[in-house]
Amino acid sequence: MQEEVVKKLEEIQKAGLTDLEHVQEEQQLNEWRTCYLGKKSEVLQVMKEIPDLSVDLRPKVGMLTNQVKRNFEQGYEQRLEEIRKAALERSLQQDRLDVTLPGRRPEKGRLHPSTQTLREIANIFGQMGFQVYRGTDVETEEFNFELLNIPKYHPARDMWDTFFTTTPEVVMRTHTSPGQIHSMRENAPDPVRVILPGMCYRYEQVTSRSEFQFFQVELLAVGKSIDFRGFKGTLQDFARRMFGDNVRIRLRPDYFPFTEPSAEMDVECFICQGAGCPVCKHTGWLEIMGCGMMHPTVLMNGGYDPREYTGFAAGLGPERITMLRHHIEDIRYFWANDVRFLEQF
Ligand code: PHE
């Protein structure tokens, strides 16, 4: 009888410890514990039977059963530790961090191409002593037209197709020229040297060359000794700083109601150096601004006596300049907000 029980316990122990050797994961280990140490385990079964044994057998079998149980418990603890250690090592191996790898670059925002050109223009004129003056996007018809020598019903108004607002007499500015009057009135009778950058709006058919909104930079100088020579010199200087030392300019006669004489300024095509190419439509010249000597009426409207004062004004298009410099063939890209376009600048 004794031998039988001892043999049985030995077998249980052997089976349990052999099984334990094959356990690889915590989940498996828990199953093993339920099987060999749980309520339905064989060891417990033997323990339950102890009271039925003879008195002299009971202590021996009891001791032996406890021994087996303890061995199982120890084995369990040991295996658990081994499994956890192995898992930790595995994760350290897998999640290893290579600190010598280059970091991921954060996405950086950038300035809109028009803003970049706008700032360059502001810098150049800033170096020449011009201050930046800001106007508003809405103007009254008086400032957008009348005070600039474009009376009501004057055919020249057709040059600026206008967005009217629901408020009578209030329009979206069609050019930055109303700023001429504002800045003159603020400074009279002192000399004025300002540039006025801003968004302009025109009720126009949108095409690859004209948008209904675009930037303009107004250039304005008023003083007692301003003449056409100085004006042309200023424009020449601007063109050199903007497009390169050797660039040539030319002024072609044009018409604006608020300047007299008026001109259109061309720069020599900096793509073909004047030889003729598709960008300059084989003329060798690129048109970049309207300009002229200020009309006496406009000077007067600004608060200056035209018998004493003279002035010059110009209106540049930053988008146009940006298109020429970067060979952008469609102006609609500028305000379409396509990042694939914007990311290139
Ligand atoms: N305001 C004119 C336009 O939008 C440009 C211009 C400005 C012409 C200043 C002459 C002087 O067409």
Whether residues 310 and 179 share a domain: the answer is yes
72 with 183, same domain: the answer is no
What average pLDDT score do residues 79-83 get? 92
Beta bridge partners of 214: 200
Model pLDDT for residues 12-40, shown as the tens digit of each residue = 989 999 998 898 888 999 999 999 998 88
Q: For the stretch 176-212, what's the b/e string if a residue is b when 16 or more beta carbons lie within 10 angstroms of its beta carbon?
A: bbbbbbbbbeebbeeebbbbbbbebbbebeeeeeebe
Nearest one of 242, 222, 218 to 121, comparing CA atoms: 242
Same domain? For 88 and 118 the reply is no
- By the 10 Å C-beta count (0-12 exposed, 13-18 middle, 19+ buried), 152 is classed as exposed
Atom of ligand 1 nearest to the CA of 290: 8
Q: Looking at the domain assignment, is residue 103 inside a domain?
A: no
State if residue 202 touches ligand 1 by the CB under 6 angstroms criterion.
no
Per DSSP, the residues of 194-262 read EEEEEEEE------SS--SEEEEEEEEEEESS--HHHHHHHHHHHHHHHH-TT--EEEEEEEETTEEEE
Single out the residue in 94, 127, 148 at which a domain terminates.
Answer: 94
CA of 248: how far to CAs of 42, 229, 261, 264, 270, in Å? 104, 15, 21, 14, 9
Residues 217 and 82 both lie in one domain = no
The per-residue pLDDT for 208 is: 84
Does 150 fall in a domain? yes
Look at the chain and report how many structural domains it folds into: 2
Q: How deeply is 218 buried, as exposed, middle or buried, from its count of CB atoms within 10 A (0-12, 13-18, 19+)?
A: buried
Q: Check whether residue 120 and residue 87 sit in a common domain.
A: no
Is 101 a member of any domain? no
Ligand 1 pocket test target in 139, 192, 194, 258 with most atoms within 8 Å of CB: 258
Terminal C-alpha separation, the chain = 94
Is 329 exposed, middle or buried (CB count within 10 Å of its CB: 0-12, 13-18, 19+)? Answer: exposed
In a domain, 328, yes or no: yes
Same domain, 305 and 162: yes
Residues 319 and 230 both lie in one domain: yes
Confidence of residue 139 (pLDDT cuts 50, 70, 90): very high
| Same structural domain, 173 and 289 | yes
Boundary residue ending a domain (94, 125, 143): 94
Q: How far is the CA of 329 from the centre of ligand 1 (A)?
A: 23
Q: Whose CA is nearest to atom 10 of ligand 1?
A: 291
Q: What is the pLDDT of residue 99?
A: 85
Cα separation, 143 vs 141, whole angstroms = 5
Q: Is the CB of 175 under 6 A from ligand 1?
A: yes
DSSP at 84: H
Is the CB of 173 inside a 6 Å radius of any atom of ligand 1?
A: no
> How would residue 52 be classed by pLDDT, with cut points 50, 70 and 90?
confident
Are residues 327 and 229 part of one domain? yes
236 within domain boundaries: yes
On whether the CB atoms of residues 223 and 310 are closer than 8 A, the answer is yes
**Domain match, 121 and 208 both:** yes
Residue with CA nearest ligand 1 atom 2: 315
Helix H, strand E, coil C: the string for 205-221 is CCCCCCCCEEEEEEEEE
Does some domain include residue 99? no
DSSP, collapsed to helix, strand or coil, labels residue 275 as coil
The string of pLDDT tens digits covering residues 246-299 is 889 999 999 999 999 999 999 998 778 888 888 788 999 989 999 999 999 999
Separation between Cα atoms, residue 263 and residue 316, nearest integer Å: 12
Cα of 174 to ligand 1 centre, how many Å? 10
Q: What is the CATH number of the domain that holds 245?
A: 3.30.930.10
**Host domain of residue 239:** 114-342
Phi, psi (5° rounding) for residue 35? -70, -40
What residues does 291 pair with on adjacent strands? 263, 314
Nearest CA to ligand 1 atom 7: 315
Domain assignment of residue 105, yes or no: no
Q: How many residues does the chain have?
A: 345
Stretch 214-243: mean pLDDT: 95
Which of 256, 262, 291, 312 gets mutated to test ligand 1 (max ligand atoms within 8 A of its CB)? 256
Centroid of ligand 1 to alpha carbon of 344 (angstroms): 30
pLDDT of residue 273: 84
Q: Candidates 143, 147, 158, 175: which one to mutate for ligand 1, based on the most atoms within 8 Å of Cβ? A: 175
Domain contains 305: yes
Decide whether any atom of ligand 1 lies within 6 Å of the 293 Cβ: no
> 12 alpha carbon to ligand 1 midpoint, in Å?
103
Of 27, 60, 94, at which residue does a domain stop? 94
Task: Tell me the pLDDT band of 322, cut-offs 50, 70 and 90.
Answer: very high
pLDDT for position 104: 87
- With 90 as the cut, is the pLDDT of residue 58 above it? no
Residues 189 and 314 grouped into a single domain: yes
pLDDT at 318: 92
Residue 290, ligand 1, Cβ within 6 A: yes
Does residue 292 line the site of ligand 1, with CB under 6 A?
yes
pTM of the model: 0.69
Q: Do 18 and 165 share a domain, yes or no? A: no
Which residue lies with its CA nearest to atom 12 of ligand 1?
A: 290
| Ligand 1 proximity of 16 Cβ (cutoff 6 Å) | no
